[in-house]
Structures are given as structure tokens and as C-alpha cells.
Amino acid sequence: MKDHLIVFDTTLRDGEQSPGASMTKEEKVRIAKQLEKLRVDVIEAGFPAASQGDFDSVHAVASAVKESTICGLARAVENDIRKAGEAIKPANSGRIHTFIATSPIHMEKKLRMTPDEVVERAVWAVKRARDFTDDVEFSPEDAGRSDVDFLCRVIEAAINAGATTINIPDTVGYSMPHQFGSLFKELIERIPNSDKAIFSAHCHNDLGLAVANSLSAVRNGARQVECTLNGLGERAGNTALEEMVMAIKTRQDVFDVDTRINTKEILAASRLVSNITGFAVQPNKAIVGANAFAHESGIHQDGVLKHRETYEIMRAEDVGWSTNKMVMGKHSGRNAFKTRLEELGMVFETEQELNDVFVRFKELADRKHEIYDEDLQSLITDNSNQRVENEIYRLIALKVSTETGEASKAEVTLWVEGKELYAMAEGGGVVDATFKAIESLVKSGASLELYSVSNVTNGTDSLGETSVRLEKGGRIANGQGSDTDIVLSSAKAYINALNKICGNSVKKHPQASV
Ligand code: KIV
Ligand code: ZN
């Protein structure tokens, strides 16, 4: 019997700390529900003390998700712990994750606290968190650069105070795999009460070693790993969930642990996060990149056809890649549509939700004759047609024209807080003209940081998924749009981002000094 490796997903917290990856409450709930489908054990839903929006998001996730434990992050201070405790209240199973830095550089320069004060505060924080829940995780931040004797001291005290999980963060991604593994071995061997807590690895990818370090920790006693989808996270990101899970599954010969992850949901989860944040997945990204299972060279193709395992160590279907077969068309009925979605793991809570998607499917089928699984997935994950909270702008109509040797033109009609407004603009191309026309009505002053379009399937009638990132006064918002017409898809994404940037609030960063 293998040990259970707890998968702790922090896409909604550490992932969201990635500049430009901030998400709305609705987006966080959608990702959390997909994480639940993935059978992630713990979802770190945010840092409730960061802002009212973060608090509401954690609370909403705790209310919506039933199967996974919902965790809120808190610095070792009263306000953070109380807010985290209140935010996770609706959860069936709730956890508080409290942390304080333990490396000499962080204690001296950031916290301006002595090691004795840090131990005292850690003990206080764990005890205070236990007033809200029995499930308390403690992290000595920057453990990778902390003194091992001091780590032993603070961790022993935290466990005595009631911490049930001890997370060892390599906060700056400095560790080497052999060192990080030895650190776990030494901590577990030396700390007298180490058997009273689960040890967890939390790695950053600054040297590209987050997954390797996490795997080394597991080989040396870690029984929880903290990861994010697509490796999203600050700077170079965190341990990629999909790589970690598939390494453990594929190499059961070297690991004495297994996860409960439903790997068939990995690709859908990866796409959802990429779509919502606007962070594209590189084609050669392991597991979820477009080329991860593509065999380009003749020798490889020949080998795979003769015997799949000559070049494939995993089955593409096991992580959710389909065979791209045509599934539906405009004559497909509601039942066939529902059945196919269920086969793809997409289940709706209400009839209304299913009806809305079916209407969008019919509209798509009128414009695109062959509907593939990827189209269905895009249709479900596209949120540009959904009202965002406090919606200010909505596209009513768009007309564009382009002619060789002439400037492109766009005519836009927008719904702006109850009024219909019209504008016309010229630009270097139809998308440029459309954005200029919209901006002339909205006057947001936001600058365009990113614009990207990718086709969901092959062919010129493919759905185009567009991501737009806007920046205004240091705030960033991502918008998404999807349509077979890439100009419409672009306009939807731009308006989606404008609605968000106009409602964004300022957040605290958890790792800033208290
Ligand atoms: O990287 C880090 O140290 C963290 C802590 C808050 C656990 O994210
Ligand atoms: Zn981190």
C-alpha cells in the first residue's frame, strides 16, 4: 500500500501573485470547481487579508467547493488570521496557512525581528489559527536559505503549538534537488515531534528546479506538495501540478506514494487557467503543451505506429488530450450535446447553465460545420459572454472594413452604463481600429500590455481565443474573448478587460513586511 501524497494547489494564491494573473471572484470559483474535479486535496484560495475582493473570493470558493479542503493564507498577525478564519468558515473542511520568515536575511532586513521573537510569533500564530480550525499549516518562509538548527527549533515549537502540516518553502528557488531532499530528511529525523505533522514542499522555479526539488522532497519524506497549474506563480513560477502528478504516476517504480488526482482533467484545468489569466502555454511545455504528444519526425512516427511505447512514456488520453474527432454539427440535439459534454467531464449544476451553453453551441454550429472537442471546451471556458460583476461596458454591434492601400475602419456600438454609444475609428488594421473606437468611447487611459490570439482547432473557421492584458495606474486586468471571427473575439476580450480594470481594487502582498 503506497502512502497518499496530498496535492495542495495554490494557483489561486501564489499563482495569482504572478504579475498580470489577477482573477475575479467568479473566475476563481470556476477554477476552484475544476480543481475539485481534478480531485485536488487542498485548494489555497487566496490571501483574505489582501483586500475585500480576496476575502470575498476565498469565502465564495469555500461555499462552492465541497470535496476539497479550502485554505486561506495569513501572515502571523491577528488581522490576517481572523480574516482567513472568517473566509474559510463556509467550507466543509477549512485550513489556515500561516507563515513567518526564518532566514537570517528576511528576519534581519524585512521583519526586523530576532530569532527568539520569530519563534514566539510563530507559536502565537499557530495557536491563534487553531481557534478557527484544527487544520493549521505553518511555513517558515525562505526555509531554503534558513539555518537548519533554527528551522528545527521553530518547527518543533509550531508542531507543539498545534500545526498539523509543516510546509518547507524554497521561496526564492535557490535550492538544488539533492540539498532540498537532504533538508527534509534531516528535519524529519531531528525534530522530535515530526511524526505529529505532515511535511510539505513548496518550491519556486527560479533555476528551473521546482519540480525536481519537490520530487526530491517526496523521496525524502514529504507527503504534501504545493503546486500550481501550468507552473503559474511569481517570477519563474511554482512547481507545475501537471508535471509533478504525472512524474509520480509515470514513475511509480521510484516513488512510494501516489496521488488521488483524476489526471484526465489536467488539460481542461490547464486551458481554463491559461484562458482566464491570458498566460499562454508554451508549445513544448511538458504534459499540457500543444507539442507534448506530437511526433513530428518520421522515425518517431514510424516507431509510435509500430508500438506506441517506443517513444511515448504516457498516454495523451490520460491527461485529457482527445483524438480531435469531429463530434457534433448543427443538427446535433440537446441530448447528444449534453452526453458528449459529460463524456468530456463537463457537468452543469443547473439546467439554465446547460441551456445557455447549448444556445452558444448552436450559434457556433451555424458558423462552423465541424465541432471538435476542443471547440466544446473553449465554448465552456469562454467567459466573455458572461456578465462580469458591476458590468459597465457591453458590445452591441461591430462593423469593420479593410481595403488594400486604405486605412482599416471600425464602427462600434457599445452599451455604457445603460446608454448606447457609437464611435468610428481608423487604424493600422481592423483590430487596431476596433480598439481605438472602443477606447474613444470608454476613455479608460489603460495601456495595452498583451494581445494574443490562438486558434482552438485547425482551419480558418476555427474558434479564435483572444487574450488582452491592460495596465492602468499599476493595476493589471486580463480579458478573454472567443469567436470564430477574430475581430469580434478581440473586441470581446478588450471589453472584458476594461470591465475588470474599472472595478479592480488595490491588494496587499502577503510577503511584504507586516
Ligand atoms: O514562497 C513562499 O515562501 C510562500 C509562502 C507564503 C509559503 O509562498
Ligand atoms: Zn511561494
Specify the pLDDT at position 386: 55
Specify the pLDDT at position 500: 83
Mean pLDDT of 187-196: 98
Q: For ligand 1, pick from 81, 96, 171 the residue to mutate: most ligand atoms within 8 Å of CB.
A: 171
Q: Residue with the nearest Cα to atom 8 of ligand 1?
A: 14
Specify the pLDDT at position 51: 93
Specify the pLDDT at position 294: 76
Specify the pLDDT at position 383: 57
Atom of ligand 1 nearest to the CA of 14: 8
Specify the pLDDT at position 338: 85
DSSP for residue 387: P
Answer with the residue of higher pLDDT: 263 or 364: 263
Rounded to whole angstroms, how far apart are CA atoms 244 and 38? 14
Q: For ligand 1, pick from 97, 110, 141, 168 the residue to mutate: most ligand atoms within 8 Å of CB.
A: 141
Any ligand 1 atom below 6 A from CB of 237: no
| pLDDT interval class at 384 (50, 70, 90) | low
Whether the per-residue pLDDT at 312 is higher than 70: the answer is: yes
DSSP track, 35-63:
HHHTT-SEEEEE-TTS-HHHHHHHHHHHH
Question: To 5 degrees, how large is the angle CA 347–CA 352–CA 353?
Answer: 40
Q: Residue with the nearest Cα to atom 1 of ligand 1?
A: 171
| pLDDT interval class at 121 (50, 70, 90) | very high
What SS3 class is residue 258? strand
Any ligand 1 atom below 6 A from CB of 14: yes
Any ligand 1 atom below 6 A from CB of 169: yes
Q: Distances in Å between the alpha carbon of 18 and those of 231, 233, 477? A: 10, 5, 12
Specify the pLDDT at position 461: 83
Q: Distances in Å between the alpha carbon of 292 and those of 314, 378, 454? A: 10, 20, 17
What are 439-468's pLDDT values in tens digits? 999 999 999 998 988 887 778 888 888 989
Rounded to whole angstroms, how far apart are CA atoms 216 and 236? 19
Rounded to whole angstroms, how far apart are CA atoms 283 and 274? 13
Backbone φ/ψ region at 330: left (φ over 0), alpha (ψ -120 to 50), beta? alpha
Any ligand 1 atom below 6 A from CB of 99: yes
Q: Is 284 exposed, middle or buried (0-12, 13-18, 19+ CB in 10 A)?
A: exposed
Query: On the CB side of 109, how many CA atoms lie within 13 Å of its CA?
Result: 4
Specify the pLDDT at position 303: 67
130: which residues sit within 8 A by CB, 6+ positions away?
Answer: 136, 161, 162
Mean pLDDT of 95-112: 97
| pLDDT interval class at 285 (50, 70, 90) | very high
Atom of ligand 1 nearest to the CA of 172: 1
Q: Are 123 and 156 in contact (CB under 8 A)?
A: no
Any ligand 1 atom below 6 A from CB of 239: no
Mean pLDDT of 430-445: 96
Query: On the CB side of 513, how many CA atoms lie within 13 Å of its CA?
Result: 9
Domain 3-277 belongs to what topology? TIM Barrel (3.20.20)
Any ligand 1 atom below 6 A from CB of 171: yes
Whether the per-residue pLDDT at 307 is higher than 90: the answer is: no
Question: To 5 degrees, how large is the angle CA 122–CA 157–CA 97?
Answer: 45
Specify the pLDDT at position 382: 66
Specify the pLDDT at position 503: 67
Q: For ligand 1, pick from 10, 11, 14, 81 the residue to mutate: most ligand atoms within 8 Å of CB.
A: 14
For the chain, report the end-to-end CA distance as a whole number of angstroms: 44
Whether the per-residue pLDDT at 162 is higher than 80: the answer is: yes
Any ligand 1 atom below 6 A from CB of 106: no
| pLDDT interval class at 57 (50, 70, 90) | very high
Answer with the residue of higher pLDDT: 205 or 327: 205
Backbone φ/ψ region at 230: left (φ over 0), alpha (ψ -120 to 50), beta? left
Specify the pLDDT at position 464: 87
Mean pLDDT of 316-325: 78
Across 185-189, 289-293, 508-512, least confident range: 508-512
169 CA distance to ligand 2 middle (Å): 7
Ligand with smallest separation from the Cα of 509: 1
Rounded to whole angstroms, how far apart are CA atoms 306 and 493? 44
Q: Are 96 and 88 in contact (CB under 8 A)?
A: yes
Across 86-95, 159-168, 382-391, least confident range: 382-391
Q: Is the dihedral of CA 425, 428, 430, 436 positive or negative?
A: negative
Mean pLDDT of 230-250: 97
Mean pLDDT of 217-237: 97
How is residue 173 written as a grid cell?
Answer: 528557488
CA 429 to chain centre: 33
Rounded to whole angstroms, how far apart are CA atoms 32 and 61? 7
Any ligand 1 atom below 6 A from CB of 139: yes
Answer with the residue of higher pLDDT: 450 or 390: 450
Q: Are 73 and 46 in contact (CB under 8 A)?
A: yes
478: which residues sit within 8 A by CB, 6+ positions away?
Answer: 20, 21, 22, 276, 277, 278, 467, 468, 469, 497, 500
pLDDT cut 70: percent of the chain above it = 92
| pLDDT interval class at 134 (50, 70, 90) | very high
142 CA distance to ligand 1 middle (Å): 7
236 CA distance to ligand 2 middle (Å): 11
What are 331-357's pLDDT values in tens digits? 888 888 888 777 766 767 788 888 888
Whether the per-residue pLDDT at 75 is higher than 90: the answer is: yes
Mean pLDDT of 243-265: 97
Atom of ligand 1 nearest to the CA of 511: 6
Q: Distances in Å between the alpha carbon of 15 and those of 46, 236, 469? A: 10, 11, 16
pLDDT cut 90: percent of the chain above it = 65
| pLDDT interval class at 267 (50, 70, 90) | very high
As a CATH number, domain 393-502 is 3.30.160.270
Q: What is the mean pLDDT of the chain?
A: 90
Q: Are 162 and 130 in contact (CB under 8 A)?
A: yes
Mean pLDDT of 31-54: 96
Whether the per-residue pLDDT at 298 is higher than 80: the answer is: no
Q: Are 478 and 469 in contact (CB under 8 A)?
A: yes
Specify the pLDDT at position 399: 97
Whether the per-residue pLDDT at 177 is higher than 80: the answer is: yes
Rounded to whole angstroms, how far apart are CA atoms 292 and 367? 30
How is residue 296 written as a grid cell?
Answer: 513530428
Q: For ligand 1, pick from 44, 99, 137, 180 the residue to mutate: most ligand atoms within 8 Å of CB.
A: 99
What are 481-503's pLDDT values in tens digits? 888 999 999 999 999 889 888 76
